[in-house]
Structure 1
Amino acid sequence: MKEFFISPNGSDTNSGTKLRPFASFNRANEELKKIAGREPVTIWFYEGVYHLKEAILFNSEVSGTAENPIIISSLPGAIVKLKGSKTLNNLKWNLFDKGIYATKVPKNIDFDQLFVNGNRKIRSRYPNYDYENPLRGGKGYLEVLDGTDKRYDTWFTLKKEDFPDKKWQNPSTGIVHAFQSHNWGNMQYRISGINIEEQKILLGEGGWQLQRSLGIGGKGKNLSLFFIDNIFEELDTPGEWFLDVEKNMLYYYPEEGIDVHNATFEVPVLKDLIQIKGDAEKPVKHITINGLEFSHSKSTFMELYEPLARGDWAIHRGGAIFLQGTENCTITNNNFEYLGGNGVFLSGYNRNNIVSNSRFVHVGESAVAFVGLPSAVRFYQTWDDRDIDGKNWDDMRKNMDLEPGPKSLDYPKNCIVENNIMHDFGDYGKQVAGVYISMSHKITVAHNTIYNCPRAGICINDGTWGGHVIEFNDIWETVRETGEHGPFNSWGRERQWRGSRGSDEHFIKKLTKLDAIDNVIVRNNRIANYRKSISAGNWTIDLDDGSSYYEIYNNLSLGSTIKLRDGMSRKVFNNITVSAVPLGFHVWPKDSEDEIYNNIFVISGALPGKKEPTKIFLRDVGLPTETKWSKHYDHNLYWNINYPSNSEVIKGVGLKDWQNKGYDEHAVSADPMFVNVEEANYQVKENSPALKLGFKNFPMDSFGHEMTRIIPFGGDFSDEISVTLKKDVRANKKAKIYYTLDGTEPNQNSMLYEHPIQIKKSSTIKAITINPNGISLGFTNEVKFNKVNKVVYPSWYDTLIKGEYKVEGKLPSSKKALELEIEGAVMINIADDPDLIDATGGYNYGCYIKEIDSEKGKMWLDASLDRDWVIQKINGNIVKDIKTLQKFMRKHKGEQVTLIGVRDYREKEFKINFKKN
């Protein structure tokens, strides 16, 4: 085996041996090219910091084999940091103005992040960054007053009080970071100018960071929130900085305790740090990257993004480690932190690769992404085709390729992402995921812990080509800054989906298997929402438009529940859901072949902001009325803690009436008898009625990563709390856990874990597994426990542990959706019903038609209106709600009007004759 060594104290004129190491990765790579594939090679890094001058490229000329692999690794126990930044040396700082310092920087350098003594600083910003609550909704964001609300946006306006005499001399340096009006993600635009008199921000390039037509604007609850950075005059708070590119001047407002003359300043200059690039015909093989820390890549939000199929997302094909055209490559035991873009990105042809045992934190975009090439898809459409380029989806379907499966090999297949920790990512992009899958086949996502992110924990963007296994993941505190999404989210808008809903007209069932060629399995995951409020549509398992051929079993859903929108053949069985959120079953096709059986469905508490506890188990929207929803909907156990004796399955339908409809003939309503929910054990006891129905207990201690674990994972407590530590499963019997209680880094001199720890005051626990040789395994796990006078639980959990619904204190008021019959049509104010907003395609204003009486509703039926349409305009005027509709009916009584209705992403015009009386 050939070995090369790299050291910060080495020299590129050395021979690369252990005693005469190289200084740079590039130099070692030059030697690697000469022997790659002919003998095993390991490149060892001594401990230290390595600033890469360019991305390290492994192409088809630098490829290993099964017999002669290539390993890139830190030496055992060494901390090796690979950075895509350069250090700014010999800076001559001078006081500029009121605490702000300035210095010249080298010419032709442009950077978008600044790290001072290793900490990322805030670029000059309006409004200022909210350190206490940096998320959307904190003080660091403002609401727009108005905007075009259509990509690509050209302007938006600020409220007068938010735009007080802004005299920005060069606003074109500024970048707008704004959430889309429907809050499905965010966009960035470069400012092109300002109209001070109108408080108007004019927008230039940008807006490509997501799909769909909606942009910056909106009304009421759906106003876009935004901030602006990179404006010189907004450099007004300690910790901020600004780069004047034209004058090569860096300005910095240091915080207290920072001496600019002795501090270390680092600036990212690379987007990707390592690229492994071949193709399907000549792939790069058998490269392992082990034990390295990757940081300081440039942000990518102003780079090229591409819309992906008909999921809602757009992506930038790049990452700290970028793989394309590879086989049998392994990324393991690495740390990805403070990156501007994605962590690991597998693009196009990738086979049998593994991303494992790694940590992703403060990543600008997604942690791990698997994305094939559109050329591999036989029929490829995007939302931008229709919404931006004006193409007709149906016209595009003419002469559509009807061959099954992929068209080429340019997609990831048989890859694994397992035993990783992913949290606090999505620093810049908000339409992101811990694991993102698009145009891929047979991806396994197992034993990952994913939390604290703006959108999805795991997202499957499309139905090409299935076969994925999603198992043993622990996901919580996701969808924190966006809405209408789930911690696990999927779409399946492929050839069978014509762009509306699951009716025979718009969902061609016989085409479903052309793309979804293998079932997706979602099993043994814990997906939870412990927040006291959740966004609309925040389902734990969210199978959205067209998602078909899923097997969903042995999942524990807490704080929310499962949604199935139009799709085929979803088997949902042996799951536990505990929530105030009812199941969401929306617009299935006739004979969907869906099966719902042997589940435990528990309703507990009230929806966030509601005064009334939830009564129903299931909220159905637009399901077939002429056929049964499912031919196998049985043996489920129902338990409503709020209404133990008179709950309803769907609104107005108790269990007996439900069974008379032909569903759940063997179901029972009874306490499932959980073993111990306060210790997170939702298994049922031996005498549980659920077991008699066929439910089978599944493990409650196998969720998430298997490195050093701290149980429970933080939170509030009142008196004291018992904490258990578990060592890394890869450790041998002689390995031990060391921990600290003051937030310092643990080592072999720290406290040795021997029995559960009793915590009596607010503490930050850090723990690590260390083997007998003094080498740590995995990463230091960190958990914070806060002692409070009284722990306030979300309603669903509070009700569950008390065994009954009780209200303590004053709950926030909530506007109940108005439901009213108008000329034989039952209308609902859709803006006040989050489930309807989610189920109908995200429409957040207008009158939703729940049902129309065949006799009394003749006026509507004669106009060809039907249930599930949302009335949004009359004669070009917006219909905000039922009150507005009634006003227009009075104004135009006896007249024919043009009514605009929307349903499931499409708009239609109706001619209707209003009655004279």
Structure 2
Amino acid sequence: MHYRILGLLLFNLITLVADSHAQNLYVSPAGNDANAGTLQAPLKTPFAAIAKIKRVSQSKVTIFLRRGIYYLNKPLKIDPESLNGKSLNIEAYKNEPVTLSAGRKLALKWEKHNQNILKAKVSGNHFEMLFINGKQLPMARYPNFDSTARVFNGTAEDALSPARIAKSGDMAGAYVHALHKSEWGSFHYRIKGIKNGEADLEGGWQNNRPSTLHLQHRFVENVFTDLDAPGEWFLDKKSQLLYLYPPQNLNINTADIEVSNLKHIIELVGTDKQPVKNVIISNVRFEHTERTFMEHYEPLLRSDWMIYRGGAVLMENSENCVVKDSEFTNLGGNAVMISGYNVGSGVTGSHIYNIGSSAICFIGDSSAVRSAAIGYENFIPLSKIDRTPGPKNNKYPLKCFAEDNLIHNIGKTEKQCTGVQIEMASEILVSHNTIYQVPRAGINIGDGAWGGHIIEHNDVFETVLETGDHGAFNSWGRDRFWHPDRKTMDSIVVSHPELILLDAQKTVIIRNNRFRCDHGWDVDLDDGSSNYHIYNNVFMSGGLKFREGFQRIAENNIFLNNSFHPHVWFKNSGDIFRKNILMRPYFPILVKDWGKKIDYNLFPNENDLKNAQANKTDAHSSFGDAIFMDPKNGNYQVKSESPAFVLGFKNFPMDQFGVQKEAFKKIARKVSYPVLLNAALEKDMQEMTWLGVKIRNVRGLGDRSAFGLPDEKGVVIVNVPSDNILAKSGLQSNDVIISANKEKTDNVVRLEAIRQQINWTGQMDVEVLRNQQTLTLKLNLK
């Protein structure tokens, strides 16, 4: 029986037994902390209810929260001492709407500052998030907030230019946000002041791969002179004056105004020797935590991640603690952080959206890692590497879970974030989650320590929307054997193959998922990711990448409009790729040794199969149409006459991806099914609009003569609007594209298929015939 199912059965049994020995405490915004805590005489604050637990004689306590918003003046801390050996439920009474807020509600007296701007005196702590009638408003910023802009809701190359700085006045306390130069996440800085006409910056510690700021994708916020658009605001911390350019049609005198305050809402904190046990939090809404990007960030071994170990809910050293059926929104940082020693704890049935950073994080302590190296470039010398397999101590999440959660629109501020993050952990179950609208990966595993995770039945799409070189699922495996210099690493794994699985001890299983990434790979096993078994998945756009790892098996997967991307393989990798359905040729980079077994795969055409066989793979593979049952409606099971069956492929369910909770099914966005770029479409589609440009296939001898072509293949550019991005790249009407990315573009479908493979890079090299002369152009795609 699966450990998660067994755990739930045991937990429910314990709960049933304990109910006869239970004590209920009631809390209401209309209550009084001097009351007894009964339904008729409720307490006023959750703090008072927690304080009463010690004096309760029963073994189980349930704190029922009555309807309303509870503005907390400090995090609600629950530790072993306060529980005194009892189990605890905190839940909304009969599903009444309950919010635990880390913010404050403001009652302000407004007056005019000028024709457009109001101002009011505020007291209390400074804040960085402002909500009016439940909607978050942007700080004054340059460029102005643009809901349609792909990155940061608007960026500008001149955000820190001398001219901008000169006219901005006092910029001390402003923030600079920018993508990593290679689009590997983001950096965030505070401006301390201006020196010699340049911003004096503090920060940039939020990414574990140091670099300069992206030249284009950057913006500045919290400068008074940028308060120039409806909805923007600015807080002068010295004078404690709040300035607001009101949104249109707002009655400021009746508006509810809330601001962020605390960084955490609930903290379940024990030790690895005395953990917090058996706490369930259910049917609660969490809101208004403060932004945390300028707090202390910890490097997570040699992954690309730095992280703030906190969230609206923090579980640090726990057993069987669960957040269920709850809502997390309008948060400045992470939603749930499960840090250090944790066993059987997790998040289920919860809705997480509109937050500043990651949704659910399982993060162990680096003290548990043997020969732990910190930073991409670092490596423990061979003579000093600990050869003992597995962890040094128990300070890591084990058998924890993220299950049946709806996660979307996260990473509103921080771009090195994800729906579910796993680092230095073991046997984490990530099941039946729907994840979309994320700036980077939907699910990320940062290292090989210590494996055993099960990633199943998830629906992950609209990913890597603001960054690059990543996947809907991403992993790294920069473990003990891995070295940043390839020649050094080659010699290490040849002479010491025993190092490879010392950290990645247990196989990570990725099965029965649906992944879609239009800006990278659907599944990206990067930099040494090892010991994976990947089967029964639908890869909807970006395909599958294996780079520099060992002992990986990919079988019985379906690749829509894409294929397998083997990058930089080791000799004797032990990799297996078999019984998969492909729609494109392989895309190898620096691969000489093709693993243990690459065979029994279905290619779309004979030419792609022959290219593979030229590398001495796929001796028993075949080619042909897979014959999907109902691809327009997302059923990619194959019909009985499919040649895939002959190769050993087996159908798997297409109706179990993502959330199972009926309330979530009703509101979750649905993935868009791709138009299949197969042989049938190549035959039927003669023309299309491509990136705003009308294109068509070459038509017969007439076109061949008119354009001076060597054959009757290619893509004719019918018309390019002058303001189109391709026109700006040099493409002209009556050009004929004959190849792209060094592949032949025999027709419009082939051109689009190639574009989909490299769309995330933002550029594509094409070979064009113009006036019977061959030209090479670099097209900007976005």
TM-score (structure 1 length as normaliser): 0.71
1:713-752 equivalences in 2 (<5 Å): none
Secondary structure of the corresponding residue to residue 29 of structure 1 = helix
In structure 1, C-alpha distance between the alignment counterparts of 2:241 and 2:677, rounded to whole Å: 54
Match of 1:112 among 128, 141, 145: 128
Shift in Å, 1:637: 0.9
1:173 aligns with 2:138: no
Specify the alignment match of 1:583 in structure 2: 564
Shift in Å, 1:797: 5.7
The structure-2 alpha-carbon separation of the partners of 1:806 and 1:24, relative to structure 1 and needing over 3 Å to count, comes to: farther
The structure-2 alpha-carbon separation of the partners of 1:696 and 1:63, relative to structure 1 and needing over 3 Å to count, comes to: farther
Shift in Å, 1:802: 7.3
1:102 aligns with 2:88: no
Which piece of structure 1 moves more, 1-10 or 439-448? 1-10
Specify the alignment match of 2:345 in structure 1: 353
Shift in Å, 1:799: 7.7
The structure-2 alpha-carbon separation of the partners of 1:591 and 1:419, relative to structure 1 and needing over 3 Å to count, comes to: same
Match of 2:574 among 587, 593, 608: 593
Specify the alignment match of 1:34 in structure 2: 55
Match of 1:212 among 203, 206, 209: 209
Partner letter of residue 557 of structure 2? Answer: N
Partner letter of residue 451 of structure 1? Answer: Y
Post-superposition CA distance 1:137-165 (Å, at most 9, x none): 86x21125xxxxxxxxxxx953x8xx458
Post-superposition CA distance 1:754-788 (Å, at most 9, x none): xxxxxxxxxxxxxx4xxxxxxxxx68616599xxx
Secondary structure of the corresponding residue to residue 582 of structure 2 = strand
Partner letter of residue 468 of structure 2? Answer: G
In structure 1, C-alpha distance between the alignment counterparts of 2:64 and 2:312, rounded to whole Å: 19
Contact 2:53 2:83 in 1 (8 A): no
Post-superposition CA distance 1:842-875 (Å, at most 9, x none): 9x99xxxxxxxxxxxxxxxxxxxxxxxxxxxxxx
Specify the alignment match of 1:307 in structure 2: 299
Match of 1:808 among 688, 698, 707: 688
Specify the alignment match of 1:52 in structure 2: 72
Specify the alignment match of 1:203 in structure 2: 200
In structure 2, C-alpha distance between the alignment counterparts of 1:836 and 1:121, rounded to whole Å: 35
Match of 1:491 among 476, 486, 502: 476
The structure-2 alpha-carbon separation of the partners of 1:331 and 1:810, relative to structure 1 and needing over 3 Å to count, comes to: closer
Secondary structure of the corresponding residue to residue 456 of structure 1 = coil
In structure 1, C-alpha distance between the alignment counterparts of 2:560 and 2:665, rounded to whole Å: 32
1:16-27 equivalences in 2 (<5 Å): 16-27=37-48
Contact 1:495 1:514 in 2 (8 A): yes
Contact 1:621 1:836 in 2 (8 A): no
1:264-343 equivalences in 2 (<5 Å): 264-343=256-335
1:517 aligns with 2:505: yes
The structure-2 alpha-carbon separation of the partners of 1:73 and 1:798, relative to structure 1 and needing over 3 Å to count, comes to: farther
Post-superposition CA distance 1:188-244 (Å, at most 9, x none): 111233478xxx642321101111121214xxxxx3411100001111111011111
In structure 2, C-alpha distance between the alignment counterparts of 1:798 and 1:50, rounded to whole Å: 56
Specify the alignment match of 2:405 in structure 1: 420
In structure 2, C-alpha distance between the alignment counterparts of 1:393 and 1:455, rounded to whole Å: 27
Post-superposition CA distance 1:890-910 (Å, at most 9, x none): xxxxxxxxxxxxxxxxxxxxx
Specify the alignment match of 1:238 in structure 2: 230
In structure 2, C-alpha distance between the alignment counterparts of 1:339 and 1:393, rounded to whole Å: 37
Contact 1:416 1:444 in 2 (8 A): yes
Specify the alignment match of 2:634 in structure 1: 680
Secondary structure of the corresponding residue to residue 393 of structure 1 = coil
In structure 2, C-alpha distance between the alignment counterparts of 1:565 and 1:707, rounded to whole Å: 36
The structure-2 alpha-carbon separation of the partners of 1:592 and 1:28, relative to structure 1 and needing over 3 Å to count, comes to: same
Partner letter of residue 8 of structure 1? Answer: P
In structure 1, C-alpha distance between the alignment counterparts of 2:118 and 2:670, rounded to whole Å: 36
Partner letter of residue 34 of structure 1? Answer: R
Secondary structure of the corresponding residue to residue 600 of structure 1 = coil
Specify the alignment match of 1:648 in structure 2: 608
The structure-2 alpha-carbon separation of the partners of 1:346 and 1:202, relative to structure 1 and needing over 3 Å to count, comes to: same
The structure-2 alpha-carbon separation of the partners of 1:49 and 1:793, relative to structure 1 and needing over 3 Å to count, comes to: closer
1:182 aligns with 2:182: yes
Specify the alignment match of 2:620 in structure 1: 666
Contact 2:142 2:219 in 1 (8 A): yes
Specify the alignment match of 2:552 in structure 1: 570
Specify the alignment match of 2:446 in structure 1: 461
Specify the alignment match of 2:599 in structure 1: 634
Shift in Å, 1:98: 1.8
1:622 aligns with 2:622: no
Partner letter of residue 259 of structure 1? Answer: N
In structure 2, C-alpha distance between the alignment counterparts of 1:836 and 1:486, rounded to whole Å: 13
In structure 1, C-alpha distance between the alignment counterparts of 2:33 and 2:429, rounded to whole Å: 41
Shift in Å, 1:806: 4.2
1:451 aligns with 2:436: yes
Partner letter of residue 692 of structure 1? Answer: V
In structure 2, C-alpha distance between the alignment counterparts of 1:782 and 1:514, rounded to whole Å: 40
Post-superposition CA distance 1:374-397 (Å, at most 9, x none): 11111111227x5xxxxx6355x5
In structure 1, C-alpha distance between the alignment counterparts of 2:678 and 2:146, rounded to whole Å: 30
Unaligned runs of 5+ residues in structure 2 are 1-21, 694-725, 731-738, 743-753, 765-775, 778-782
Contact 2:371 2:380 in 1 (8 A): no
Post-superposition CA distance 1:363-416 (Å, at most 9, x none): 1100000000111111111227x5xxxxx6355x54222211001110000001
The structure-2 alpha-carbon separation of the partners of 1:284 and 1:175, relative to structure 1 and needing over 3 Å to count, comes to: same
Partner letter of residue 379 of structure 1? Answer: S
The structure-2 alpha-carbon separation of the partners of 1:568 and 1:798, relative to structure 1 and needing over 3 Å to count, comes to: closer
The structure-2 alpha-carbon separation of the partners of 1:467 and 1:433, relative to structure 1 and needing over 3 Å to count, comes to: same
In structure 1, C-alpha distance between the alignment counterparts of 2:647 and 2:280, rounded to whole Å: 48
1:15 aligns with 2:36: yes
Post-superposition CA distance 1:336-357 (Å, at most 9, x none): 0010010000000000112100
Unaligned runs of 5+ residues in structure 1 are 145-155, 218-222, 387-391, 604-616, 709-767, 769-777, 786-791, 820-831, 846-881, 884-917
In structure 2, C-alpha distance between the alignment counterparts of 1:422 and 1:233, rounded to whole Å: 36
Secondary structure of the corresponding residue to residue 189 of structure 1 = strand
Secondary structure of the corresponding residue to residue 173 of structure 1 = coil
Contact 1:63 1:286 in 2 (8 A): no
1:142 aligns with 2:159: no
The structure-2 alpha-carbon separation of the partners of 1:670 and 1:542, relative to structure 1 and needing over 3 Å to count, comes to: same
Match of 1:85 among 100, 103, 112: 103
Secondary structure of the corresponding residue to residue 328 of structure 2 = strand
Contact 1:557 1:577 in 2 (8 A): yes
Contact 1:636 1:667 in 2 (8 A): yes
In structure 2, C-alpha distance between the alignment counterparts of 1:833 and 1:424, rounded to whole Å: 26
Secondary structure of the corresponding residue to residue 346 of structure 1 = strand
Specify the alignment match of 2:141 in structure 1: 125
Which piece of structure 1 moves more, 328-337 or 662-671? 662-671
The structure-2 alpha-carbon separation of the partners of 1:261 and 1:810, relative to structure 1 and needing over 3 Å to count, comes to: closer
The structure-2 alpha-carbon separation of the partners of 1:334 and 1:256, relative to structure 1 and needing over 3 Å to count, comes to: same
Secondary structure of the corresponding residue to residue 644 of structure 2 = helix
Contact 2:340 2:365 in 1 (8 A): yes
Partner letter of residue 174 of structure 2? Answer: G
In structure 1, C-alpha distance between the alignment counterparts of 2:164 and 2:679, rounded to whole Å: 47
Contact 2:152 2:412 in 1 (8 A): no
